[in-house]
Chains A and B, each alone.
Chain A
Amino acid sequence: MRSLGVGLLLLVALAGWCAASEEFDFPPPQFSQGYEYPHVSKPSPRPDWLVYVDIGVLAAALGLAAWLALGRRHRRGLALLAVFSVLYFGFFRHGCICSVGAIQNVALAAFGSDYALPMVAGAFFLLPLLFALLFGRVFCAGVCPLGAAQEIVLLRPLRVPRWLENGLGVAPYVYLGAAVLFAGTGSAFIICDYDPFILFYRLAGSRGMLVLGLVVLLTATVIGRPYCRYLCPYGVLLRWLAPFARWRVRITPQDCISCHLCAKACPYGAIRAPTPEPGAVPRHVGRGRLAALLALIPVFVVLGGWLANVGSPILARAHPSVRLANRLWLEEQGRVEAKTEATEAFEQHERPTVEAYRTAAAIHARFRVGAWAFGGWLGLVLGIRLVGQAIRRHRSEYDADPAACVACGRCYAACPVQPTRENALGLPGASERS
């Protein structure tokens, strides 16, 4: 039995050896004068331990941001931290890896077939979320290289009208859904491909991206953080978690003199004014409207999922293998004359086209499922936002919206009152609310 196994092994090895030597048309020569093959240099990648340096710097920066934003309420310190992040995570590390882009690595690891999430991507994805649960969006304050760049260039903030803010605010949810869909199906990393700042950090990029980057950067001089507010998919996750934070930016109601200066100083519209006394709409009418909207959510979800599923062949074109198969089919049918680079490359490998079709079919199948989830997600977001519009919370003081506040500290600098530490942190010793 054992000899049979050894024999089989030998046979396999022999076959492998034959295959290996047959692969090359010209057998290597037998040198007579002791020729030695030169050494081929294979420089190693950046050593693994440096990854831990990056993670350490991220954790330290997050801790510092939390301390500056909540403990010290120090606007200038946060601005300096933003400069550091632009220099380190931006220019020094060339903007990779960042927490925003890490969403895609997580999605690929979760839904992709054979991708093991690297430590650094996982840590960059999770650490800011962990901090958001404790301290709010301090990651945005001055750690994220994308947010920090916009924070630095903001010169004269204009106020964005509430209706526009609400409308544009849907985009990040769409972007997040699309990013997860395309990354999860292994098609593309759209957050990286369309990152408007990475070009500055790498000092290289296409002309189209340069135009986009300049537009976003110029917009950011007058509209506070356009990317963070109207595009950032990671901001969506932080937005969800920040309201549950243990400590967060507070307009201390005990000390507040309702001077309105903080709300004027906030370039991101994150400080909510006190609401007028309720009573405009009778309670039972509002309740009926809410119930109707809640009942609509499942309708939106199913409708969105169905629509996206119908459009899934178009979405699937984001995957290069699908594009290749589509093109090969057109060429086979004689509908197009010219070959593309991809079909020429495919031809060189002398594989049957059926193989390409089979690969594409498998990707299409994944996209059908993904599109259901993507469309359903969009429907859910729309429904929840409508419900959110219908709910009115009563507020008697100025208050920083934890979901929108990026802890930049401008309101601290604008506030004429110096609150006590207990009040600022909401510690047990704080004086009772009136």
Chain B
Amino acid sequence: MPDKPERLTRREFLPQAVRGIGLLATGGALGALATRRSAGELVWQIDPRKCVACEHCATDCVLSPSAVKVMHEYRVCGYCNRCFAYFVDQPTDDTTAAENQRCPTNAIRRSFVEDPYHQYAIDEPKCIGCGICVKGCKEFGNGSLILQIRHDRCVNCNQCAIATACPAQAVSRVRADQPYILRRSG
């Protein structure tokens, strides 16, 4: 309360008081934010355990092509004899011809490791994040192919358009210092 300074009317005092309180509150809140120890920025990421590879990632991102791409967790891969992410269900023959491949953009590179294993690598610039391979791997294999938001591409919208569209609610905010959710850590 004012101790009656010179000619300070009620009309003048009230705005000053409100301003003072407001400045203290906003300034204090800013200071509290800046000095908070656990302060961390957040980024969007897909939880592969919840993901159902519905293809919304390819179409609903504000970027084109999407910021979501397939990531191969090799340590989870079973190196199946016939990879269900790579080959369609009923290939016409035993070759890697285009009609035998699931990927619509030819973004999976198949290379021989040792008999009978092949390695399947994602050619990232070609991948559009449709998740067709992810679905195949998830249904018949170990699920080593996962959809992840690539943070070199993601513009980190305040509300992720994919998160809004995701039918499995698999997209959430995660801490920026652990920006990927893998099926197996390490």
Contact = CB atoms under 8 A, between A and B. Distances in A.
Contact of A117 (B19, B33, B164): B33
Contact of A202 (B18, B72, B155): B155
A279 interface: no
Contacts of B3: none
B77 interface: yes
A26 B156 contact: no
Nearest to A346: B168
| Residue of B22, B50, B164 ringed by the most chain A CB atoms within 10 A | B22
B62 A37 contact: no
A245 B121 contact: no
Interface residues of A, number: 68
A46 B151 contact: yes
Contacts of B52: 344-345, 348
Contacts of B33: 117, 119, 122-123, 126
B184 to A, nearest CB: 7
B122 to A, nearest CB: 9
Interface residues of B, number: 63
B167 A97 contact: no
B15 A244 contact: yes
Interface stretch (A78-86, A187-195, A281-289, A294-302): A187-195
Contacts of B169: 320-321
Contacts of A40: 71-74
B179 A133 contact: no
Nearest to B55: A341
Interface in A118-149: 118-123, 126-127, 129-130, 133-134
B38 A116 contact: yes
A29 B121 CA distance: 17
Contacts of B22: 129, 133, 241, 244
A87 to B, nearest CB: 16
B119 A38 contact: yes
Interface in A25-43: 25-29, 31-33, 35, 37-38, 40-43
Interface in A332-359: 340-342, 344-346, 348-349
A202 B67 CA distance: 13
A133 B19 contact: yes
Contacts of B176: 45, 48
B76 A24 contact: yes
Contacts of B26: 126, 129-130, 133
B142 A25 contact: yes
B43 to A, nearest CB: 5
A326 B20 CA distance: 49
Nearest to B32: A122
A341 to B, nearest CB: 4
A35 B158 contact: no
B114 interface: yes
B173 A115 contact: yes
Contacts of B71: 40, 42
| Residue of A32, A42, A105 ringed by the most chain B CB atoms within 10 A | A42
Nearest to A115: B173
B113 interface: yes
Interface string A91-110: 00010111001101100000
Given A25-B141, A345-B54, A94 B34 contact: no
Given A31-B114, A48-B176, A345-B52, A24 B142 contact: yes
Contacts of B150: 43
Contacts of B80: 26
A121 B151 CA distance: 19
Nearest to B173: A115
Contacts of A45: 41, 43, 151, 154, 156, 176, 179
Given A101-B158, A342-B167, A28 B76 contact: yes
B144 to A, nearest CB: 8
A119 B78 contact: no
Contact of A122 (B15, B30, B74, B157): B30
B62 A35 contact: no
A51 B154 CA distance: 15
A362 interface: no
Interface in B27-63: 27, 29-30, 33-34, 36, 38-43, 50, 52, 54, 56, 62-63
Contact of B155 (A24, A94, A120, A134): A94
A166 to B, nearest CB: 24
Interface in A211-261: 241, 243-246
B6 to A, nearest CB: 13
Nearest to A93: B155
Given A115-B173, A193-B164, 17 more contacts: A27-B78, A29-B78, A29-B117, A35-B114, A42-B180, A98-B158, A102-B158, A116-B38, A119-B33, A120-B41, A130-B26, A130-B27, A133-B19, A188-B164, A321-B169, A342-B168, A345-B54
11 contacts: A24-B143, A28-B76, A28-B78, A31-B117, A42-B71, A94-B155, A118-B41, A119-B36, A130-B26, A188-B164, A320-B169
Interface of A: 20, 23-29, 31-33, 35, 37-38, 40-46, 48, 51, 94, 96-98, 101-102, 104-105, 115-123, 126-127, 129-130, 133-134, 188-189, 192-193, 202, 204-205, 241, 243-246, 320-321, 340-342, 344-346, 348-349
